[in-house]
Amino acid sequence: MSRRWITALLALVAALMAVPLVYIVSLSVRSRDDVLNGGLLPSTLFWRNWPDTFGSIDLPRHLANSWIVAAGGAALTLVIAVPAAYYTARARRGGERLLSLVLASYCAPPVVAVLPLFYLLRTAGLGNTLTGLALVTGLANVPVAVWLLDGFVRRVPREVEEAAWLDGLGSWGALRHVVVPLAAPGIVASGLICFFLGYNELLFALSFAQETSVQTLPVALSRFQGDRNIQFGQQAVASIVGVAPVYVLALLAQRRLVAGLSAGAVK
C-alpha cells in the first residue's frame, strides 16, 4: 500500500471515531425539537441547554465527587503499587510469583467484589461515602498499576541502585531516592491512567455511592436516562463538562501516556 492510501485510510478511521463525539457537541446546542427532526448538525444554535443542565442536576457537585474519588483512588493505588512493582521487578523468584498473582487477580471480574465490599464498607461506616468509594477504586486499580510500573522499574539501571546501597541506603531509601526519581515519568503515566480509570468507573460507584450527594459524574449521567422525556441536550452538556478536563489532561500528557501503555505491553 502506498503512503497516500494509508493516510487516507487513517483519516477515514479518525473521522469515524470522531462521529459520536461530534454528535454529542452538536446535541448540546440543539433544542429537543431540533434533535427529534434528525440530522447530525444543529439547524439553529440553542444555548439554553447549558444553563438548564446546571439547573436540573448539581453538576459541580458530581464533578467534585468524581475528582475526589479518582484522585484519592489513584494516590492510594500508587502508594501500594510503587513498592510492589519494585518488589516484582527486583526480587527474582518471589517477584515473579507476586506479579503473576497480581495479574491473576486482575482477571477476576470486578462484580466479585461488589457484595463483599458492600458489607465491609457498611461495617466500617464507609457505605455511601466518597472515602469508601475512593478506597475501593484505589484497590481495584492496583493490578493495572503494578503491571505498568513493573516495566518502568526494570528499566532503572541496577548499578545506580547498588551505588545507593553502598552509600548506606536501605531498600526503602533506594526506592525513595533512586527508583522513584528515575521511574518518575512512568509513575506519572501510571497514576494518570489509574486516575482515568477511577474517573470513568461506574459499577462500584453505582453500588457503593447511591445517594445523590456522593454520586460521581458517570452515575449522574446514567441516571439522566430514567426520565420519561430524555433530555438529549442536557445529557450532552453534562457529558461535555465531565469529559473536557479529562481530555485536556490526556492531551497534555499524551507522550507519557502512550509511552506508559507501551511499557506495559512490550514485556
Question: Beta-carbon neighbour count of residue 261 at 10 Å?
Answer: 14
Give 113's contacts (C-beta < 8 A, 6+ positions apart).
Answer: 136, 140, 204
| Structural element, H or E, at residue 217 | helix 217-223
C-beta closer to another protein: residue 134 or 236: 236
Whole-angstrom distance, CA of residue 11 vs CA of residue 144: 31
Are 133 and 209 contacting, i.e. CB atoms less than 8 angstroms apart? yes
Cβ at position 208, least distance to another protein in Å? 10
Are 82 and 149 contacting, i.e. CB atoms less than 8 angstroms apart? yes
Are 73 and 137 contacting, i.e. CB atoms less than 8 angstroms apart? yes
Cβ at position 6, least distance to another protein in Å? 5
CA angle (68, 244, 198) in 5-degree steps: 35
Instruction: Please tell me the number of Cα atoms within 13 Å of 108 on its side-chain side.
Output: 12
C-beta closer to another protein: residue 35 or 133: 35
Cβ at position 34, least distance to another protein in Å? 9
C-beta closer to another protein: residue 99 or 130: 99
Cβ at position 166, least distance to another protein in Å? 6
Cβ at position 118, least distance to another protein in Å? 8
Cβ at position 55, least distance to another protein in Å? 19
Whole-angstrom distance, CA of residue 212 vs CA of residue 45: 31
Cβ at position 17, least distance to another protein in Å? 6
C-beta closer to another protein: residue 54 or 203: 203
Cell of 87: 518488589
Looking at residue 125, the DSSP 8-state letter turns out to be T
C-beta closer to another protein: residue 7 or 213: 7
* 143-180 burial code (b ≥16 CB/10 A, e <16): bbbbbbbbbbbeebeeeebeebeeeebebeebbeebbb
C-beta closer to another protein: residue 10 or 48: 10
C-beta closer to another protein: residue 90 or 130: 90
